[in-house]
Amino acid sequence: MHDGAPPHFALGVRAWLDQKFPGRWLGRRRPHEWPARSPDLTPCDFFLWGWSKEEVYRAKSHTLEQLEDRIREVITTVPHDFLQKTVDSISGRLRKLVDAVGAYVEF
């Protein structure tokens, strides 16, 4: 569990993980820290949600059903080249973060 609940990183739990998975588990304070979740590295966050919202609201929806239909339409018709460019940009984003050695990065 990576939800930060105290029972999930209690000494007994960490001891059990050390015994069953020595040096191979991610967690708080041992042996490998769980990496930060950065919206700059998650394609849905840095691209898809913002683009989709703009596309969805280009057409007025008068009912919840119309809005749901519009959301489905937009998500299922994302142009392939948009998705490819988004995936292709991930390695460059990662390189910027590595080069910055943990400092703030502007994308």
String of DSSP letters for the chain: --S--GGGG-HHHHHHHHHHSTT--EETTSSEEPPP--TTT-HIIIIIHHHHHHHHTTS---SHHHHHHHHHHHHHT--HHHHHHHHHHHHHHHHHHHHHTTS----
CA-based torsion, 22, 23, 29, 32: positive or negative: negative
Please check whether residues 96 and 79 belong to one and the same domain.
yes
Residue 68 placed within a domain: yes
Residue 29 placed within a domain: yes
The predicted structure's pLDDT at residue 73: 96
Instruction: Please state whether the predicted TM-score (pTM) of the whole model is above 0.85.
Output: no
- Residue numbers of the domain that contains 12: 1-35
The predicted structure's pLDDT at residue 52: 93
Please check whether residues 72 and 88 belong to one and the same domain.
yes
Residue 21 placed within a domain: yes
The predicted structure's pLDDT at residue 1: 47
Please check whether residues 78 and 58 belong to one and the same domain.
yes
32-33/26-27 β-pairing:
parallel
Residue 107 placed within a domain: no
Residue 105 placed within a domain: no
Please list the rounded mean pLDDT of every run of 10 residues in the chain (107 residues).
64 85 74 61 80 94 96 94 88 84 71
Q: How many domains does the chain have?
A: 2
